[in-house]
Amino acid sequence: MEKWQEPWAQNKYWVMSRSQQFYNEIRTLAKGNHWDEESQKRYQQILRETESIYPTIKTLTTAYQHVWGYFKNKATIEEKKKYQALLIKLREKDDELGQYLVKLTDKYEVKYLMESTLIKKLRKANK
């Protein structure tokens, strides 16, 4: 794996949860596995700028749906119902769904998500 791929894998859902535009820009930077010093500088700048962006319902929904994809074939019927209910009531200031996805990440031991910035920040916010 290229040096930039692992940090991008860790950060992609967090970036997506805040800015679809930045997410798309990083995907464009990474296209064709061509990553140079300029790409790295812009990537770091995007991460800094992303820190100051507050998630919206739309960006959270998009990111959470991607995260849910890791569970949809494993989850019980009750877990699926709870996910749908929390998705419907998701609000910027009332984000129970994020914490629920943290619980599912731990329950199903999804290593990729456990190492993701989004899950780590959600876990930290709940402490």
**pLDDT (tens digit, 9 = 90+) per residue, 56-82?**
999 999 999 999 999 999 999 999 999
Exposure class string for 97-110: b at 16+ Cβ within 10 A, else e = bbebbbebbeeeeb
Specify the DSSP class assigned to residue 42: H
Residue-level pLDDT at 49: 97
Residue 94: left if φ>0, alpha if ψ -120 to 50, beta else—which one? Answer: beta
Average pLDDT, the chain: 94
Per-residue pLDDT of the chain (127 residues; tens, 9 = 90+): 567 788 999 999 999 999 999 999 999 988 877 788 999 999 999 999 999 999 999 999 999 999 999 999 999 999 999 999 999 999 988 899 999 999 999 999 999 999 999 999 999 987 7
Residue-level pLDDT at 113: 98
Residue-level pLDDT at 2: 67
**Based on C-alpha coordinates, what's the Rg of the chain?**
15
